[in-house]
Amino acid sequence: MKQKIAYYMRTSHYLQEIGTQEDKIEPGWLLYKDKGISGRVEFENRPAAKKLLQDIRDGKISQVKTMRLERMGRSVKDLVNTITTISTTYSVPIHFIAEGITTLDENGKQTPTTGLLINTLISLSEFFYHQNREKTLDGIKRAVALNRYKGRVRGSTEKLEDFMIKPQVIKVKTLLKEGVGIRKICRTLECSANFVYKVKARMMETA
């Protein structure tokens, strides 16, 4: 069986453009796209990633490519597990295009330098995720203190039909109808549990 190069792509939101990742595609690559999947969701629990792992187990893949380290995930533990599974267990190198790093050399071995770089980048990815999250929360707190916060308005008179056709609401409705749990919906769509419960309640009103 002829082995091929797999190219993994991921976006956090269904409506987010994946074009910058598609620009790197070369003829003959097998494509694996996870759209609307948070980087916090474990790699093995994403639909396209799960298919990729199975193809690797079946010996169909000679190399995995992805645009950036963060496309595979933002959790240090999950990234380490994913790299270990693909490159150590199945001896398939992963090439992170933007970082210019490949997990294994031409002899199928990971060099000390490569291992150090990967672990450093994984740690930085986790660090910047939490740093950006803290900045966002701090910004909201300052805006609230200055009475400038433009988030949800209490006592909103938004019509039910207008609320139910919002893109994020439609995504939640779809996952709820498929029987997906609230916690998993929150992780997948990066939304709050309160929002999911709100959508669920509105669905009952329109049932």
Q: What is the pLDDT of residues 69-110, one digit of tens each?
A: 889 887 777 888 899 899 989 999 999 998 888 989 888 888
Query: What is the distance between the alpha carbons of residues 33 and 16, in angstroms, rounded to a whole number?
Result: 12
Containing structural domain, residue 196 = 160-206
The answer to whether the beta carbons of residues 18 and 11 sit under 8 Å apart is yes
Tokens of 76: 């240090």
Is 117 within the bounds of a domain? no
Alpha helices in the chain (DSSP H): 19-22, 47-57, 69-72, 76-83, 112-145, 160-164, 167-177, 182-189, 193-206
Kindly state whether residue 129 falls inside one of the protein's structural domains: no
Whether residue 168 sits in one domain with residue 96: no
pLDDT for the residue 2? 65
Instruction: Collapse the DSSP code of 14 into the 3-class scheme (helix H, G, I; strand E, B; otherwise coil) and give the result.
Output: coil
Residues 164 and 90 both lie in one domain: no
pLDDT, one tens digit per residue, over 135-164 is 666 666 666 666 655 554 444 556 777 788
Decide if 202 is inside a domain: yes
pTM over cut 0.75? no
The distance in angstroms from the start CA to the end CA of the chain is 52
- Tell me which H or E stretch contains 32: strand 30-34
CA distance 73 to 40: 6
Q: What is the pLDDT of residues 189-206, one digit of tens each?
A: 878 888 888 888 888 766
Q: How far apart are CA 25 and CA 5, in angstroms?
A: 10
Do residues 167 and 106 both lie within one domain?
A: no
Environment class of 130 (CB within 10 Å of its CB; exposed 0-12, middle 13-18, buried 19+): exposed
Q: Is residue 200 part of a domain?
A: yes
- Assess if residue 136 is contained within a domain: no
Give 73's contacts (C-beta < 8 A, 6+ positions apart): 39, 40, 41, 42, 43, 79, 82
- Distance CA(110)–CA(83), nearest Å, equals 11
Domain count, the chain: 2
Looking at 71, 94, 110, which one is the last position of a domain? Answer: 110
pLDDT of amino acid 13: 64
Pick from 70, 47, 55, 44: nearest CA to 6:
55
Whether 115 maps to a domain, the answer reads no
% of the chain at pLDDT higher than 90:
25
Residues 79 and 165 in one domain: no
The pLDDT-based confidence of 65 (bands split at 50, 70, 90) is very high
Q: Is residue 144 part of a domain?
A: no
User: If residue 6 lies in a helix (H) or strand (E), which one and from where to where?
Assistant: strand 4-10
